[in-house]
């Protein structure tokens, strides 16, 4: 049995001085998504605060998915080791888009909030699956230089597609840090 990879330890060990690795960037985004989901589900938040947090969550999901698919997934999808996990990821992303569309069509605000909260459960499950299965498997079979190369591509797209007012999650990191 292989030793389980601790993603937190793995990303903490990466230095700020070199190009950022893809896993570190993905995890930074997942952390941001989880903090936004927490705001959407918070008992203390008002209905309008929840709607606002969800807007930011949706924008962040769009940008994250675009970057994840067009860098990470695109470059590893043909590899038989990752093929099934990546294609499940693609399909889950499509389901998420459908759900966003459905939530937009609900005019009753209380029902919309309820559906937003259910969506958060699904998103959490998706992030968990990537972190438990795909990321550790990729770390095991990839070189650090590959992870950095994919990381740079991810960051480029993530920054370009970020439609929120803030540079948070992976988008707070800079491209091509000095080696």
Residues near Fe ion, by CB under 5 A? 68, 130
Shortest Cβ 30–Fe ion spacing (Å): 6
Query: What token pair was written down for 93?
Result: 């992303």
Containing 2, the helix (H) or strand (E) segment is none
Shortest Cβ 178–Fe ion spacing (Å): 28
State the Cα–Cα distance between residues 169 and 43, nearest whole angstrom: 24
Shortest Cβ 110–Fe ion spacing (Å): 29
Complex with Fe ion: residue 86 or 116, whichever CB lies closer: 86
Complex with Fe ion: residue 58 or 130, whichever CB lies closer: 130
Complex with Fe ion: residue 109 or 160, whichever CB lies closer: 160
Query: What token pair was written down for 121?
Result: 């459960």
Shortest Cβ 158–Fe ion spacing (Å): 11
Buried-exposed string 80-117: b where 16+ CB fall within 10 A, e elsewhere: eebeebbeebeebbeebeebbeebeeeeeeeebbeebe
Single out the residue of 105, 109, 110, 99 nearest to residue 58, CA to CA: 99
Complex with Fe ion: residue 45 or 69, whichever CB lies closer: 69
Complex with Fe ion: residue 58 or 68, whichever CB lies closer: 68
Shortest Cβ 121–Fe ion spacing (Å): 15
DSSP H helical ranges for the chain: 7-12, 22-41, 47-67, 74-76, 83-105, 109-129, 135-141, 144-160
């Amino acid at each position: 049995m292989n030793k389980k990879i601790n993603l937190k330890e793995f990303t903490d060990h990466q230095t700020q001085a070199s190009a950022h690795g893809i896993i570190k960037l993905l995890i930074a985004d997942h952390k941001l998504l989880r903090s936004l989901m927490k705001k959407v589900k918070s008992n203390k938040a008002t209905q309008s605060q929840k709607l606002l947090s969800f807007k930011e969550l949706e924008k962040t999901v769009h940008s994250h998915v675009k970057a994840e698919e067009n860098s990470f997934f695109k470059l590893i999808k043909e590899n038989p080791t990752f093929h099934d996990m990546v294609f499940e990821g693609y399909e889950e992303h499509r389901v998420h888009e459908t759900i966003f569309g459905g939530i937009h069509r609900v005019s009753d605000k209380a029902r919309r909030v309820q559906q937003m909260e259910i969506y958060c459960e699904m998103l959490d499950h998706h992030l968990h699956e990537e972190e438990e299965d795909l990321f550790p498997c990729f770390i095991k079979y990839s070189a650090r230089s590959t992870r950095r190369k994919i990381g740079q591509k991810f960051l480029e797209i993530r920054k370009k597609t970020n439609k929120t007012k803030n540079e948070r999650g992976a988008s707070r990191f800079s491209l091509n840090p000095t080696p």
